[in-house]
């Protein structure tokens, strides 16, 4: 079944990010995708909670798109979670507004994938470092899927950047059109590790 996809984008310095500019371009080119830039919408961090809750209710798939900052999200996305995901609305006995929806993260890291291993530079896997967001989704009754993760952005060549952008657009389109094999997606380390198996053409 077709799905409504909401991309919540958070990057405080997009003009400095070669990779995220390309990912954003491919996301915005997809028909039927709601692209919402939080820093652009709320430069003073005065988040309109009701507006954000209305957006969430009207979509099926939610994407947290952001660079990895200190093993977490940029500040505005944490502020967004603190304010928007209210008790009694997003979680708690009567907090069922997000139940049954799907959440995944589209993120970039300067370090290469091998750095995010138990014996790597960061001593933890990326999925382990994302546990706070995963648990937040589960508490809200949402399904959390592995991330779309682009590693090693600092030394990435232009052709590789465009390949990741194309893959991101392809994945968003597949979610919108209901062409994602969720069983395979759930088992992936990251959604873009083998898109040909996850996306049904």
Per-residue pLDDT of 186-197, as tens digits, reads 999 999 998 999
Q: Quote the pLDDT of residue 117.
A: 87
Q: Quote the pLDDT of residue 159.
A: 93
Q: Quote the pLDDT of residue 40.
A: 96
pLDDT tier, 198 (very low <50, low <70, confident <90, very high otherwise):
very high
Q: Does 145 score more than 90 pLDDT?
A: yes
Cβ contacts of 136 within 8 Å, gap of 6 or more: 81, 85
CATH 3.40.50.360 fits 5-198, yes or no: yes
- In the chain, the percentage of residues whose pLDDT exceeds 70 is 100
Q: Does 2 score more than 90 pLDDT?
A: no
Domain ranges of the chain: 5-198
**Residue indicated by tokens 């940029």:** 74
Residues 126-147: b if buried by 16+ CB within 10 A, e if exposed: beebbeebbebbeebebbbbbb
Q: Quote the pLDDT of residue 125.
A: 87
pLDDT tier, 111 (very low <50, low <70, confident <90, very high otherwise):
confident
- Give the model confidence (pLDDT) of 10-52 as tens digits: 999 888 889 999 999 999 998 899 999 999 999 999 999 999 9
* Average pLDDT along the chain: 94
């Amino acid at each position: 079944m077709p799905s409504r996809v909401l991309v919540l984008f958070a990057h405080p310095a997009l003009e400095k990010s070669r990779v995220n500019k390309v990912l954003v371009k491919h996301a915005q080119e997809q028909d039927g995708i709601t692209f919402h830039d939080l820093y652009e919408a709320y430069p003073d961090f005065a988040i309109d909670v009701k507006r954000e809750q209305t957006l969430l209710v009207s979509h099926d798939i939610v994407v947290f798109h952001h660079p990895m900052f200190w093993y977490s999200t940029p500040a505005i996305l944490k502020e967004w979670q603190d304010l928007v995901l209210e008790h009694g609305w997003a979680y708690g006995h009567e907090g069922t507004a997000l139940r049954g929806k799907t959440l995944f993260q589209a993120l970039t890291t300067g370090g290469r994938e091998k750095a995010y291993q138990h014996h790597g530079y960061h001593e933890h896997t990326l999925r382990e470092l994302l546990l706070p967001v995963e648990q937040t989704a589960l508490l809200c009754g949402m399904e959390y899927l592995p991330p779309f993760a682009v590693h090693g952005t600092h030394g990435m060549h232009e052709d590789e950047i465009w390949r990741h952008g194309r893959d991101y657009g392809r994945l968003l389109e597949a979610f919108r059109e209901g062409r994602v094999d969720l069983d395979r997606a759930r088992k992936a380390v990251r959604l873009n590790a083998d898109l040909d198996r996850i996306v049904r053409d």
